[in-house]
Structures are given as C-alpha cells and as structure tokens.
Amino acid sequence: MYFSSWLSQLYRGFSRPIGRTTQPIWVPLSRNLMLGSQRKMPEFSSFVARTNTCGELRPSHLGQEVTLCGWIQYRRQNIFLVLRDCHGLVQVVIPQDESAASVKKVLCEAPLESVVRISGTVISRPPGQENPKMPTGAIEIKVKTAELLNSCRKLPFEIKDFVKKTEALRLQYRYLDLRSAQMQHNLRLRSQMVMRMREYLCNLHGFVDVETPTLFKRTPGGAKEFLVPSREPGKFYSLPQSPQQFKQLLMIGGLDRYFQVARCYRDEGSRPDRQPEFTQIDIEMSFVDQTGIQSLTEGLLQYAWPGDRDPVVTPFPSMPFAEALATYGTDKPDTRFGMKITDISDVFRNTKSEFLQDSLSKPQGTVKAICVREGAKYLKRKDIKSIRKCATDHFNQEVLPVFLKANSNWNAPVAKFIEEEHGLELTRMMELQEDDVLLLTAGEHAKACSLLGKLRLECADLLEGRGVVLRDPTQFSFLWVVDFPLFFPKEDNPKELESAHHPFTAPHPSDGHLIYTEPEKVRSQHYDLVLNGHEIGGGSIRIHDAELQRYILSTVLKG
C-alpha cells in the first residue's frame, strides 16, 4: 500500500480563501493545526530568547512582561507597528516620549521586514480600537526595549497576502514567499498530518519505520530511473521508483509491519501532479487481507485528519473497476458529482439509424450518454464544438449533442431516429428535463465509456467556468476502486496476457480456480484509493504461494 500526491489534494481542499481585505487575516495557525483536541499545545517558545510568540497573545496575557522576536509587517504613522512571527501578528505601540527616543528610533527607522526583538507589557487596546478580525486584536504591546537584529533591504514584493505576485516571482524568491500565511500553513499542516500518521502506525499499531537505501540497483520494468555514476567506471546506482524490493525483503525478514515516509524518484519530467522526486507513505503488512489493509488505511486518514475539519467518515465506499468504468468512464471517478454514464443501447435496438445499428451490431457495441443538466443554459455553441472536437481528436469517435427543448421535442442530428416511445423511454431513463443536454455516443463499451468519462470532466470544467458549482472544493470524496482485472490482453498481441499491475498481485479469492481455465476473467486483489477523481494510493495483496506464483510467471505470462 502506498500513498502519494494526496497532500496536494488536501492543500487544495484545506486552503483558506484569501479575502480582499487590506489587512491579511492570520488565523492562529498553531491552534488551527492542533490535530485532536485532547493534545497538549507544543511549547513554541522553549529554549529561545522570546517569552511568547506574537500570534498567541490574548487578553489572558494582560499585564505580562513579554519578549517577542519577529518581522516588521507594517507601520502606521510611526505610532503603531505590527510585528509578525510564524504564529501570527501583534500590534506594538511605538513610545512617543523623549526618554524612549532610542526605542522609537529603532522601531521607526527599521525598514519593513526587518527582524527585531522587543520587550514590553501586554496591555488592552483602548475601547473602540479592538480589531475583532485579528486574533490578537484585543491587546497591544507597550514597548520597553527594542533591538534591531537584522535590517531588511527593499524586497521584490511585499509579504502581504493581498499583494498579488506571479508564480514565477514567488518561486524565484521562494524563501520570501514562505513567509506568507498560506505557505506557513501548508508546511505546518503537512508536518502535523505526517506526524499523526506516524503516531497511528508506530504507536497505535506497532509498525516499524525502516529507512531503505536510495542508492541501489536498477529495477526492471516500471518508470525511467535516475542513474548515479559510482566510483567504479561503467557502474551506476539507480534511484528507486519506490522501496518495493526492500519492503518485500523486510517482510521475508519477518518485520511483520513496515512503513516508511519514502522518497521516490522517476526520471519522467514534471507534470502538475508528478515531480521527479516525491514522497509516499509506504506500508507493508504480513498476514493481512484486502479488508484489513483498507481498514488500516481508513483509520490512518481518519486519525491524521485535521481536527478543525469535518471528520473523515469510514468505511469508504467501494466500487468494482467494471462499475467505475461503466458509470464514470475511468478507474478514478470523481464522485462529488453525478452526470453518470448511462447505457441507452436498448432505446436504439430497433433504430433506423444505420450508424447506430452498425455500432450496436459489433462486439461490445453500445450506445451511451451523459446528461448535462441545464446544459442548454450554460453550454455555448463553441463549447459543443470543442466537446465534439475533443471526442474526435482523442478518441477518434463521434459524440452527438441532444438538446431537450421546452416542448419536449428533440433538437439533434439524431432526432429523426428517435421514435416517440423511445424518446419517452430515454427521458424516463435519464430523468431528462427541459434545457438538459444529452451527449450521446455509440461504439465499443470501454471506448465509449472512456470518451464520456473524459467529456464528463470537460463539461464540469465548462459549467464551473460559468459559475455552476458541481465539485465542492472543500468536500473530500474517498472511494476504493477494487476488483481490477488481474491480466489484460497485450496491446500488440491480444491473444497473450500481461499483468494489469504486476505479476505478484494475488488473484481475487473467489476467482482462484479461473487462473487455470479462463485467466482473462480473473479479478485481482489490487485496490486503488481515489479522492475527488485523483488516485492517491493503492496496493495489492501479494501472492504468497510459491507454486501459484510460478504458474502465473511461466504459464499465464509465458515469462
């Protein structure tokens, strides 16, 4: 079992929208991030020169002498200064009396983003001057001493959330961008969720965290690997795609329960959801079945989930691969919204359309459709055009748009082939209403499904671009996809079989006997974990029977 790329999903979901206020709103990160309410707060100011963090000060601190270290975020008329550290902002009153001239000088002359240490007293803000949007907005600091630790030169951009920066500029000055509330939040969230996962695995369930080497031999098959020249000419190490081989050896070694937050490498260029190096939670258990590892995983996510979010509901729904393909046209369905694929072959069983008849007469021939609710309101002519182009470009397949008009008449090229009773049947099957648009295609089952699965997501993008909310970005729809086929016909020689995942995946317990008779029908014990349409994890029960493994390698796969 592994998890990866789950974190970017979570960031997306957990991101707090940044409002258009002129003052950045710092939610107290530390409190927000405390996972599980019973836990003690960490001591954020142990061992250091400050007594408190800027962001933690509240009316309960009134009268306390504090020492704070932080960055000058903001200064108003040389009277107020807002100091920032990793836990938030606090307002500091710059002293105006003669005797504190040196303190005033430090605080007024230091450029914004300079690092200072101040000490002073926590006092109430004068009545009416409280800022309820700011967690520390009820208090301010009356300064006694101030020391400039480091002066700041002019920065390429202001460290304020409302100041828009291009991504290129942010990446160029990554070390400055990290000062933003959002980036601080992301890094802390990741740290704490991974820590909670470790607690769950190590402390609650006796897993052993084993670090495996990264300078190793090549693994045959799989992704392209990075090579590292060794000291011996002509010999190379390989950076691992995953700790696969090591963890299997650890299981043979009797480790029983292994996990690792493992760095993996793939020399395949970067994509939005794939980087040359990435991290996955890598898990291996002895004596477990698929239900066991799924329960473990669900418990893991539930335990690691941030305490300020709706808790994760378990068990996660489960869907066989065949159903995912037929209903969503993909093995990683985004189940946050419907627009499911419907098989409407029966409606056209006796159609006069030669094109449809022709498609239906072929093996696995079908007519299928998705319904874009109120599509006629939102989809423009150019959208339909681009949808049809996408179908021909990527799937070499026609897709026909069917508009249901107010008078329940059909407005489509195929309309003439839809007899009245079939039209009614279609309306009933797909629960069609006025202004709905049907996207209809005919062809081989898997291909038609894949096409409509792709168009389903395209349409969702288009509708959301027009302001319709289909996929709630704060919703987390977990889904197990199970019962994958164990083998697929080879693309270049469909009479031979190849492993759908890898040759060590165990067959489904109910299908064991089919291995010897109809191996192409055998389902596997491979399972994927899908979140909002992204595969975030997966794994399989391995074959532990040497004889079966040998049979599969030598006879089924003709290795």
170 binds a copy of itself (CB under 8 A): no
Q: How far is the CB of 555 from a copy of itself (least distance, A)?
A: 20
C-beta neighbour count of 303 within 10 angstroms: 18
177 binds a copy of itself (CB under 8 A): yes
Residues 414-443 that bind a copy of itself (CB under 8 A): none
469 binds a copy of itself (CB under 8 A): no
Q: Is the dihedral of CA 249, 255, 257, 260 positive or negative?
A: negative
Q: Cα 430 to the chain's mean position, in Å?
A: 31
150 binds a copy of itself (CB under 8 A): yes
Q: How far is the CB of 205 from a copy of itself (least distance, A)?
A: 5
Starting from the edge strand earliest in sequence, which strands make up the sheet with 257-265, in order? 208-209, 257-265, 277-285, 2-3, 534-540, 526-531, 478-482, 318-320
Residue number, 109 or 289, with CB nearest to a copy of itself: 289
Residue number, 347 or 541, with CB nearest to a copy of itself: 541
Residue number, 237 or 488, with CB nearest to a copy of itself: 237
- Are residues 520 and 487 in contact, defined by beta-carbon separation less than 8 angstroms? yes
Residues 278-317 that bind a copy of itself (CB under 8 A): 279, 285-289, 292-293, 295-296
Cα separation, 145 vs 106, whole angstroms: 9
Q: How far is the CB of 551 from a copy of itself (least distance, A)?
A: 15
Residues 246-275 that bind a copy of itself (CB under 8 A): 249-250, 252-257, 261, 263, 265, 267, 269
HSE at residue 195, side-chain half, CA atoms within 13 A, is 11
Q: Is 380 exposed, middle or buried (0-12, 13-18, 19+ CB in 10 A)?
A: exposed
Residue number, 258 or 395, with CB nearest to a copy of itself: 258
With CA atoms as reference, report the closest residue to 512 among 479, 541, 481, 537.
541
191 binds a copy of itself (CB under 8 A): yes
202 binds a copy of itself (CB under 8 A): yes
Residues 90-149 that bind a copy of itself (CB under 8 A): 115, 117, 149
151 binds a copy of itself (CB under 8 A): yes
- Using CA atoms, how far residue 89 sits from 52, 96, 315, 464, 548, in Å, is 12, 22, 41, 36, 63
Query: Greatest CA span in the chain, whole angstroms?
Result: 98
Residue number, 126 or 213, with CB nearest to a copy of itself: 213
Cα separation, 244 vs 249, whole angstroms: 9
79 binds a copy of itself (CB under 8 A): no
Can you tell me whether residue 282 is helix, strand or coil?
Answer: strand
Binding mask 6-45 for a copy of itself (x = CB under 8 A): ------------------------x--------xx-xxx-
Residues 361-390 that bind a copy of itself (CB under 8 A): none
Q: How far is the CB of 16 from a copy of itself (least distance, A)?
A: 18
Can you tell me whether residue 263 is helix, strand or coil?
Answer: strand
Q: Which H, E and C letters describe 384-420, residue by residue?
A: HHHHHHHHHHHHCCCCEEEEECCCCCEECCCHHHCCH
Residue number, 79 or 149, with CB nearest to a copy of itself: 149
Q: How far is the CB of 42 from a copy of itself (least distance, A)?
A: 4
Q: How far is the CB of 215 from a copy of itself (least distance, A)?
A: 5
Q: Cα 481 to the chain's mean position, in Å?
A: 17
For residue 55 the two structure tokens come to 């962001």
Residue number, 520 or 545, with CB nearest to a copy of itself: 545
Helical axes 6-14 vs 181-198, angle rounded to 10°:
130
Question: Among 10, 57, 66, 69, which residue interacts with a copy of itself (rule: CB under 8 A)?
Answer: 69
Residue number, 129 or 286, with CB nearest to a copy of itself: 286
Cα separation, 287 vs 310, whole angstroms: 33
Interface with a copy of itself (CB under 8 A), residue total 86
